[in-house]
Amino acid sequence: MKDNYIQLGESNVLTLKIKTDKGEYTGEELTFDLDDPDLLLRYQDLVEADKKNWQNTRNKILIIEKQQDHKGEKLLSSNEEAKIRATSEFFKEEQKIFDMFLGEGGTEKLLNGRKFSWTTMAEIKDIIIKQIAPYLEKTMDKITEQVKKEYGDVFNNENEVLKWIILNT
């Protein structure tokens, strides 16, 4: 009996291999299914959650600064300790927010053994904005064209197309 095969279409999966600062492959990679409409929603959630985390931390710092400061038992004053704790909470939340988009453990892969800090956070944001977001924009354009092709020009702009996609997936 002859084997029958099903030919799969071209995959629209973006795989980004991670290299060290010296250009050595770490053995880690990030994978994004660009046909997954949830990916666009996760990116949107990333942007919104990031803004909210920054605002919450700013508010915490402002409250701490308005409190009376006391000499701490050790090196730092009570307000300085509280600011450091607020910053630490901010970093933990930021890492969760990034992982929500990058996938579980995605941030750790990009850190490659380094600690999550102001510098590494900026690097990860830069990677997302410059190396991943352009693919998302192309995907949105592709989806918009497909929807317009299928349904004609019933949609006046990309926002209407995006709403249709969200409601119908």
CA 93 to the chain's CA centroid? 12
How far, in Å, CA of 119 to CA of 56, rounded?
Answer: 20
pLDDT value of residue 155: 57
Q: Which two tokens stand for residue 118?
A: 């102001």
CB 43 within 8 A of CB 136: yes
What tens-digit pLDDT sequence spans the chain (169 residues)? 678 777 666 778 899 999 998 999 999 999 999 888 789 899 999 999 999 999 999 999 999 999 998 887 788 999 999 999 999 999 999 999 999 999 999 999 999 999 999 999 999 999 999 999 999 988 888 877 777 777 766 555 656 656 666 665 5
pTM for the whole structure:
0.78
How far, in Å, CA of 109 to CA of 90, rounded?
Answer: 20
pLDDT value of residue 20: 92
